[in-house]
Chain A
Amino acid sequence: MSNKLLLPNRYKKIGWAILIPSTILGVILAFHEFGEAWMHAPVFAMANDGINDNYKYFTVSDANITNTVIGLLFIIGAMLVSFSKEKTEDEFIAEIRLSSLLWAVCVSYILLLIAFVFVYGSPFLDVMVYNMFTVLIIFIIRFNYILYKNTKTAANEK
């Protein structure tokens, strides 16, 4: 079974090389804000905070790009890992891929549902931030876990 949406296998390694450092940086960032001083750059904003409660649209402004850079790297890395072919991308792996995607979307929304009911006020903003990444994270964990489980039992028997 061929899937034209998947990238060649070599992108998987590149993906991991981006994903792992950006995950570490992301976790640090979640607990301590850093890079305040030097990570400033002019950005083109399609929408931004304006004066009072008004939004500004399509302006160039100065912003701290720590979040932007780390978030971007994380998403690119996670997408490369998720959407690159395995060494032998066959029908069974395609099935695990599909079921893991279903799983990831489902679990991600269940977590959001729980957060909707039990989290209020500004902590909910954090929930929204994390929820942007849960689909990819859960997919990568579930897909690789199932693959690993099958490799392990395969290694045991001759």
Chain B
Amino acid sequence: MKNNIKVERAIKSLTQEDLANKVSVSRQTINAMEANKYVPSTVLALKIAKVFNKTVEEIFILEKGD
């Protein structure tokens, strides 16, 4: 699964730390998601989408093989 958290973050000019605080996770988690090393839970995906005022599908995209 791909995501464009990094792009959305840049648009809103949030740092990883800011976003982490908004969804109450550690900065490592945001970092791991942006590096595609971690697939978030549904709850976290929904929370992130809410921060960016977008739907989950606009931020998280399925890839071939998923």
A interface residues with partner B (beta carbon < 8 Å)? 1, 86-88, 90-93, 95, 147, 150-151, 153-154, 157-158
Contacts and interface: CB of A to CB of B under 8 A. Distances in A.
A95 B38 contact: yes
SS class of chain A's interface: helix, strand, loop or mixed?
helix
Centre residue among B25, B29, B33, B44 by max chain A CB count within 10 A: B29
B35 A90 contact: no
Interface residues of B, number: 19
A88 B31 contact: no
Nearest to A154: B31
7 contacts: A1-B41, A88-B26, A92-B26, A92-B29, A151-B27, A151-B31, A154-B31
B22 to A, nearest CB: 13
Contacts of B29: 90-93
Given A92-B40, A150-B32, A154-B16, 12 more contacts: A86-B26, A90-B24, A90-B26, A92-B26, A92-B29, A92-B38, A93-B26, A93-B29, A95-B38, A150-B28, A151-B31, A154-B31
Contacts of B32: 92, 150
Centre residue among B28, B33, B38, B44 by max chain A CB count within 10 A: B28
Contacts of B48: none
A151 B38 contact: no
A88 B16 contact: no
A153 B37 CA distance: 12
B25 A150 contact: no
Contacts of A86: 26
Given A1-B41, A150-B31, A154-B30, A90 B16 contact: no
Given A91-B44, A95-B38, A153 B25 contact: no
Interface string B1-41: 00000000000000110001000111111111101011011
A91 B27 contact: no
Contacts of A151: 27-28, 31
